[in-house]
Amino acid sequence: MPAHAPVLLPETVAFLDPSRGGTFVDCTLGLGGHAAALLEAGAARVIGIDRDAGAIAVARERLAPWGDRVVLAHADYRELTSVLARLGVGPVDGALADLGVSSMQLDEPSRGFSFRADGPLDMRMDVSGGATAAEMLAEVEERDLADVIFRFGEDRKSRRIARAIVAAREEAPIETTARLASIVRRAAGGGVYQRIDPATRTFQALRIWVNRELEGLDAFVIDAVRALRLGGRLVIIAFHSLEDRIVKHTARVLAKGDGLLRGEGLVRVLTKKPVVAGQAERDVNPRSRSAKLRAVERVA
């Protein structure tokens, strides 16, 4: 089983408080670390959702000791409402979403998420459908690509990088992570020392773009809150400033009320500021350094 350290695990369990029993939904199951902790802490049942069939297979094995207290579904977390309806599940006691790419996806070269090892330029979280990063790069216009890299990667050299990628694909298709990383490094001035690899922001941007990670995130927050019973809690862990901004804004709207969203005072925000990992966790789990946890409780 791949090594995996769930981010902000004690904090997540504390906010969700599964010791009271009830049904909880892990909307981004991954390898099942958070789900296992919820079950160990007293959750009567956990429904796990993930769009990565490979992750579900690993999580199924990990969660097997809890038998029928675990129900797994291969779906996008944004399909939460339809998944619960299909399973015949009413209001739940808590829900969790740990956004972003999992350690298993990053560590497997064949998935194409990382430039640390060469592999096919795929980047899909759900390999059962949709276009790969290589296929999308082959068709995108230079201006649109620059916008993607700037918006999702927050890279000021986005235009220069996009120009280099388009020029390189005219010579030969860009089909591997190593080739893409090399192109980006040259375009971004890879010969000069930089704290992070110059390809990091572009790979992040392309991953978010390929998987539409920001699309529908605000609607998901609303759906997840509506799936809670009174007193139920929602925890969301974000790893990108744009994700966190959407979660923060939507939670505030639901707390203050907005007629357009029909969310008049639905929740109480439990985290005025995002909860971040302590130094001890950051030391042993580098992925936790950018994690920001926000939590709300349904009150109406």
Give 96-149 pLDDT, tens digit per residue: 999 977 777 777 889 999 998 899 999 999 998 899 999 999 999 999 999 999
The sign of the dihedral angle between the CA atoms of 123, 124, 128, 129 is negative
Asked if the structure places residue 239 within a domain, the reply is yes
Give the confidence band of 255 by pLDDT, cuts at 50, 70, 90.
Answer: very high
Residues 24, 39: contact at Cβ < 8 Å? no
Predicted confidence at residue 2, as pLDDT, reads 42
Residues 189 and 219 occupy one common structural domain: no
Percent of the chain with pLDDT over 90: 86
- The whole-angstrom separation of Cα 22 and Cα 243 is 28
Residue 123: domain span: 111-211
Residues 93 and 229 occupy one common structural domain: yes
- The whole-angstrom separation of Cα 1 and Cα 182 is 31
Q: Give the single-character DSSP code of 5.
A: -
* Main-chain phi, psi angles of 244, to 5 degrees: -60, -35
- The whole-angstrom separation of Cα 262 and Cα 196 is 43
Q: Give the single-character DSSP code of 273.
A: S
Asked if the structure places residue 147 within a domain, the reply is yes
Residues 140 and 154 occupy one common structural domain: yes
Residues 204 and 221 occupy one common structural domain: no
Predicted confidence at residue 233, as pLDDT, reads 98
Residues 30 and 81 occupy one common structural domain: yes
Residues 71 and 151 occupy one common structural domain: no
Q: Give the mean pLDDT of 216-245.
A: 96
Residues 181 and 245 occupy one common structural domain: no
The CATH number given to whatever domain includes residue 20 is 3.40.50.150
Residues 126 and 207 occupy one common structural domain: yes
Give the confidence band of 258 by pLDDT, cuts at 50, 70, 90.
Answer: low
Copy the structure tokens of residue 85: 């309806």
Predicted confidence at residue 104, as pLDDT, reads 75
Angle at 109 between CA 169 and CA 54, to 5 degrees: 120
Predicted confidence at residue 194, as pLDDT, reads 62
Q: End of a domain among 211, 228, 262?
A: 211
Residues 61 and 190 occupy one common structural domain: no
Asked if the structure places residue 141 within a domain, the reply is yes
The CATH number given to whatever domain includes residue 192 is 1.10.150.170
Q: End of a domain among 194, 211, 228?
A: 211
* Main-chain phi, psi angles of 231, to 5 degrees: 90, -10
Q: Give the mean pLDDT of 5-31.
A: 96
Predicted confidence at residue 5, as pLDDT, reads 78
Asked if the structure places residue 91 within a domain, the reply is yes
Q: What is the pLDDT of residues 167-181, one digit of tens each?
A: 999 999 999 999 999
Residues 122 and 196 occupy one common structural domain: yes
Residues 137 and 182 occupy one common structural domain: yes
Better-scored residue on pLDDT, 286 or 233:
233
Q: End of a domain among 151, 183, 211?
A: 211
Cα 203 to Cα 26, 89, 132: the distances in Å are: 26, 38, 13
Residue that has been written with the tokens 């203050």 in this structure: 256
Asked if the structure places residue 2 within a domain, the reply is no
Q: Give the mean pLDDT of 185-210.
A: 85
In sequence order, what are the beta bridge partners of 297? 233, 268
Asked if the structure places residue 4 within a domain, the reply is no
Residues 90 and 226 occupy one common structural domain: yes
Predicted confidence at residue 83, as pLDDT, reads 98
Asked if the structure places residue 243 within a domain, the reply is yes
Overall number of domains in the chain: 2
Asked if the structure places residue 63 within a domain, the reply is yes
Q: If you count DSSP H runs as helices and E runs as strands, how many of each does the chain have, helices first?
A: 13, 7
